[in-house]
Homo-oligomer: A and B are copies of this chain.
Amino acid sequence: MAALSDAGVGEGRQHASHEVAALEPAEARRRFAAGLIAPTSGWCAGYAQANVIAVPRELAFDMLLFAQRNPKPCPVLDVIEAGQVSSEAAGVLTGPHADIRTDLPAYRVYRHGELVEEITDARAVWREDLVTFVIGCSFTFEHPLLAAGVPVRHLTAGRNVAMYRTTRRCRPAGALAGPLVVSLRGIPADRVADAVQISGRYPMVHGAPVHVGDPAVLGIGDLDHPDFGHPPLLEPGDEPVFWACGVTPQAMVMESRPELAITHAPGHMLVTDVRDSDCLFPWASRSTPQLRGPEDQRVSRSKGTSWAPAPSAVAPAVDPSVDWSASAFAFAC
């Protein structure tokens, strides 16, 4: 099958520019919804990108458990429940026009594990019972790498990243099993430690690499023929550095052969409304979708209500004579 997403090389190169780096996510998604096909590496600097996989509801528990058990390749940013097409509550895919079925540059449709179609609009094949998993993508930390002076060669060249199946097995969950897929970036040897530490600050978008060096240890034979994406750009002195990749669920689908799965085309990601800075560990407890704390739905205390500052040695913190309940309101349950 000729892949639409492979045809986008020139276009991708054309767009990997300051212009697309400066776009707001909603505008990038509007262009993709209108039919533009391009790898999203380099787009919308400062915003997290995400892998997508939608499966029928009866597989949703197995898929979520697969992700939970394999958090390096499958860090879940949000789950869009059956019948929904946006992710407002988590802040991942928001706005009046948000639609997970149209907002990606390209989709892949797998039936019984076979890739049967690559399309730019998934509405015709969508089903009401599909549950969508939005999984962090390593494109997110490419701008921080660039900012630190670590080259990201495929981004600069406007190409897709190289991705490979490995012989490392994911931990299975129910009916789902498959190999780890990795992305490769050639990193100058004297910047490998920087690349590890900088990407390691972003665990929700794959975090630190899983492997540095010899591809054969991962069962990768020919670097020039990746399983997904474009051949890598390695320069003299580069070390091959491998990150866990959100295409791992697609390799799992090919092996586990569920009735239906709709995914992004590799390298053609969902550009989310989540800021990179909200993915930095340690994150603010309510700034990042998957990681935010419970919603604060406290009864609105009037702005005028103040509380005494921190208890001091002079005033015991909890003096039995103080009726804490006097300033409190009813529990929520």
Binding site for B on A (CB under 8 A): 60-61, 64-65, 68-73, 76, 78-79, 81, 89-90, 165-171, 174, 178-180, 186, 189, 200, 203, 207-208, 210, 213-224, 232, 234-240, 244, 248, 251, 254-255, 281-282, 285, 290-299, 301, 307, 310-318, 320, 323-333
Contacts and interface: CB of A to CB of B under 8 A. Distances in A.
10 contacts: A68-B290, A72-B294, A166-B332, A167-B331, A203-B281, A210-B285, A210-B293, A219-B328, A234-B316, A235-B317
Contacts of A315: 236
A318 B234 contact: yes
B79 A298 contact: no
A318 B223 contact: yes
A324 B224 CA distance: 9
A177 B6 CA distance: 44
Contacts of A68: 64, 68, 76, 79, 290
A171 B207 CA distance: 25
A76 B329 CA distance: 32
A72 B312 CA distance: 29
B168 A294 contact: yes
Contact of A169 (B61, B222, B297): B297
A14 B52 CA distance: 53
B238 A317 contact: yes
Nearest to A74: B294
Contacts of A72: 285, 291, 293-294
A71 B290 contact: yes
Contacts of A296: 168-169
Contacts of A207: 282
Nearest to A233: B318
Contact of A317 (B64, B210, B240, B299): B240
